[in-house]
Structure 1
Amino acid sequence: MQDLVELECKDWARKNINIKYEIRDNRKGYKAGALKKGMEHTYAQQCDFIAIFDADFQPDSDFLLKTIPFLVHNPKIALVQTRWEFVNYDVCLMTRIQKMSLDYHFKVEQESGSSMHAFFGFNGTAGVWRLSAINEAGGWKDRTTVEDMDLAVRTSLKGWQFLYVGDIRVKSELPSTFKAYRHQQHRWTCGAANLFRKMAKEIVKTKGVSVWKKLHLLYSFFFVRRVIAPILTFLFYCVVIPLAVMVPEVSIPVWGMVHIPTAITIMNAIRNPRSLHLMPLWILFENVMSLHRMRAALTGLLETMYVNEWVVTEKVGDHTKDTLEVPLLEPLKPSECVERIYIPELVVALYLLVCASYDFVLGAKHYYLFIYLQAFAFIALGFGFAGTSTPCS
């Protein structure tokens, strides 16, 4: 990939285009370290704006013509975030489910935050930053694995505004293997929880920021969405409800069992009417992933051993190195063996099977069908039967 980028840059340089190809010889600070190193170059410091793209993103040729005017005509805007478009969403069921979740994220979280002039996070790619805003906020920091969120929070505390433009879409690729998706979700969830731990006091002590904004950042953006949501989802739906069938004294509130899941499902269904038939599978998949996200959130919050673990999210383009054209998307051929067995998922599956069977045989027969479905979902993902597979070594 690096050779292809270098050749492309040289080709443009021969056309008298002011373009530079830079790499570094270490991974210190990971993505934040790379961005920080890139901004040290003289030619970068002379720019007013910086566009950021991950390796698998393919912006249209007029991307800057569409985004830069927002920054030029409104000096209060620090960031223009654009929409991701997924070119491989139909590779497998797992990518379809990812698209449903990310569509909800962009429409409900990003667009609503932008339209209400409230804070929303930078997605790390497909965005254009004002350089002066980055410098005023203190630049890129590698203290967590979510350098994009870190910078966005610090910039927002300085009074800068963000703009989300959903009409501008950038082609990108979803991780299509379960292993890659788990690594990605660990990094995102763990990093966000760890950033909350590191920035909570800083946000409280920041002067010149309204109490409402501090409360929104601390409670809504961080505590509820990045800490409570992943922990509560797993504990309530995968532990408390199954346990309730064996402990009659445990009373499950209707709002938790019915109202909240129904509301979330309806909001996702509205954004994905063509995927309405996949909503039950989306719910089961998200419940399984809640185990992984809970572990990641606790890792970040407690700052344990793997808090700064950074594994590059593998994309299928990584496996097309033998061709000069690297298509964003040619699905991997499934192998005939399972790549990996995930013990935690299988342990939870066993627990769910015991609870469901007890409810079916000796209990009130209220939840056994729901618990059985969850158990089968944990078994399927525990044996790695999700997404495409890479050949086993």
Structure 2
Amino acid sequence: MTILAFLVLAIYSISLLYITVYCLLQFNLLYHYRYGESPWTPAATVTRSESLWTTPGCRSASTRVASAPPDRYPDDVAVAPAPAAPPLPFVTVQLPIYNEYYVIGRLIDAVAAFDYPKDRYEIHVLDDSDDETVDLVAKKVAEYRARGYRIRQIIRPNREGFKAGALRDGMREAKGEFIAIFDADFVPPPTFLCRTVPHFADPRIGVVQTRWEHLNENYSLITRLQALQLNVHFTVEQVGRMKGGHLLQFNGTAGIWRREAIDAGGGWQPDTLTEDLDLSIRSQLAGYRIRYLEGEGSPAELPVDMNGFKSQQHRWMKGGAETARKMLPDIWRSGLALGTKIHATVHLLASSIFLFVFVCGVISVPLLFLLGELEKFGFSKHFFALFLTGLLSVVTVYFVANVRSVANREKRFGKSLIKFFILFPLFLALSMGLSLHNSIAVLQGYRGQKSPFVRTPKFNISSVRDKFRSKKYFSGRLNGITLGEGVLSLYFLLAVAGAFYVGNTTFVVFHALLAIGYGAIFFYSVKHLGLTK
């Protein structure tokens, strides 16, 4: 029994240590976010370009940005102004889609409304659809071609390589020296190109990424909690990495690439489910940099049903593990600074946090009943208080991202503060409840187990009055993972009862959150399959 007790304690402590280190590195990004200096502000060229391109006269402005490749890992120094010469840079806007009947029309309308000369950009709808979306896109394309837009519907003979394959094949048709990419659920603002293209005046910049905003954040509890998490990535993580001189991420959409940076990174490759993260790393190792614009938002629709959300999580978690397996050797062989290598490693291994959360949760139940055995050898349960630093770090990071940053943009501190204190405990519970589902995805990624790119269906939902269960893409079936989540909810509920039975409430809050999290994931997964009322 004693050996078992120490073995369980060791597994739990190692898992908790991993989680704590990850949280402390997130806090380090918060430090850079709040107190770091942007590497871009001294560049006179960008300031000059922005003054020309961010005005309502963008359609008639004339300037040319430099497109020469950068040196490998150049220092941050001011770049000499590029000579002004017409015409404006030509941009290809790629819209990779697959069966997006409800939202593709909205996206095409938004891209056609760009405040950019119609003769200086083209729109390519990379249409892999096999339903009525094909006909809808054809009508939209004909409509805008008649109005003088350069727009095409590009249909491949097969869906080889999924999104990465569509982007790769679409490059053969693209004429732009810059490539903007939008997923079907986005509604970019008219000023998108005018706000992003000027930053390429610096020849070191390979990608400009904008912040995701949320069209339907207030639709349900599920969408509110998703927004809470995404706000951290699109504030603290992206800006913190940029100010800290670390590797950033193109998020697959709502960004624009220098074509030469795509080529320098080896192009789009379909061997991972996160082709965006993969190419981001490769292009930065080739010497290009990513500029993130926190102040420029691109609205998008969040998944509204639990099973669609879980399919998105599966793709992100498994793809992150696949990219880590593929790119970590190159990162550690590169000439990057040690701190940057460490942050890049943690970034690529971020999906693994769910694996350790899952182990930590499951193993904490037998540990609860073995603490009495450990106390015979002088072990104190107060030892676990050392790991509260990780929790405090997470609370602080999420507070800044969802209260301070939102308040700075929208001037509503009090409302954001109340909302945060209500939602954050629920977010912790939901995140822990996803740990079984996401752990399986992570393990599949590390094992090299291949699976198709499963799209997350969107239904053009922005109001609480909108419904999604009657939509044509609503489907799903009960699976073993969902049943496992129901079993784990009961497991942790019994652990809460057991804590009071043995008179040891060390883990009672932790187990209560796990019971709520797994229970909520199970309930909504079944409900959104239409199996409950």
CA distance in 2 between counterparts of 1:357 and 1:201 reads: 47
Say which of 340, 353, 363 aligns to 1:240: 363
Q: What is aligned with 2:343?
A: 216
One-letter code aligned to 2:146: R
Partner of 1:298: 443
Task: Give the Cα–Cα distance (whole angstroms) in 1 for the partners of residues 285 and 442 of structure 2.
Answer: 24
Aligned to 1:226: 351
Q: Distance in 1 between matches of 2:160 and 2:390?
A: 42
Give CA-to-partner distance per residue, 1:42-73, whole Å, 9 cap, x none: xx1x32100000001111122111111111x1
TM-score normalised per structure 2: 0.65
Q: SS at 2:206's partner residue?
A: strand
Cα distance, 1:154–1:385 mapped onto 2, change above 3 Å: closer
Stretch moving more, 278-287 or 264-273: 264-273
**What SS class does the counterpart of residue 186 from structure 2 fall into?**
coil
Give the alignment of 1:236-385 within 5 angstroms. Answer: 236=360, 238-248=361-371, 249=374, 251=381, 253-256=384-387, 258-273=388-403, 274=416, 275-276=419-420, 277-304=422-449, 307-317=450-460, 331-332=466-467, 340=478, 342-384=482-524
Partner of 2:311: 183
Cα distance in 2 between the residues matched to 1:97 and 1:33: 32
Shift of 1:147: 0.3
Contact 1:242 1:356 in 2 (8 A): no
Q: Which residue of 1 aligns with 2:331?
A: 203
Aligned residue in 2 for 1:389: 528
Change in Cα spacing, 1:370 to 1:384, as seen in structure 2 (3 Å) is same
Report Cα offsets for 1:292-344 as digits up to 9, x if no partner.
2222111111223xx43321102223xxxxxxxxx666632669xx9747111
Q: Which of 154, 157, 160 is the matching residue for 1:22?
A: 154
Structure 1 runs (4+) deviating above 4 angstroms are 208-212, 327-330, 338-341, 390-393
Contact 2:429 2:516 in 1 (8 A): no
1:233-282 deviation per Cα after TM superposition (whole angstroms, max 9, x unaligned): 2222x2233332111128552132x3212321232123323222111111
Alignment of 1:98-247 (within 5 A): 98-206=226-334, 208-217=335-344, 219-223=345-349, 225-227=350-352, 229-236=353-360, 238-247=361-370
Displacement after TM superposition at 1:149 (Å): 0.5
How many Å separate the matches in 2 of 1:115 and 1:211? 16
> How many angstroms apart in 2 are the aligned matches of 1:33 and 1:366?
51
CA distance in 2 between counterparts of 1:81 and 1:177 reads 27
Counterpart residue type for residue 11 of structure 1: E
Structure 2 CA distance for partners of 1:296 and 1:61, relative to 1, 3 Å: same
Q: Please report the RMSD computed on the Cα atoms of aligned residues, expressed in angstroms.
A: 2.4
Consecutive unaligned residues of structure 1, counting only runs of 5 or more, are 318-326
Structure 2, unaligned stretches of length 5 or more?
1-100, 102-132, 404-415, 471-475
Partner amino acid for 1:266? T
**What secondary structure, in the 3-state scheme, does the structure 1 residue paired with 2:250 have?**
coil
* Bigger radius of gyration among the two: 2
User: How far is the alpha carbon of 1:211 from its aligned partner?
Assistant: 4.7
TM-score (norm: length of structure 1): 0.87
* Matched residue type, 2:396: I
Shift of 1:155: 0.3
Partners of 2:492 and 2:512 within 8 A in 1: yes
Q: Percent identity?
A: 32
Residue 205 of structure 1, CA deviation = 3.6
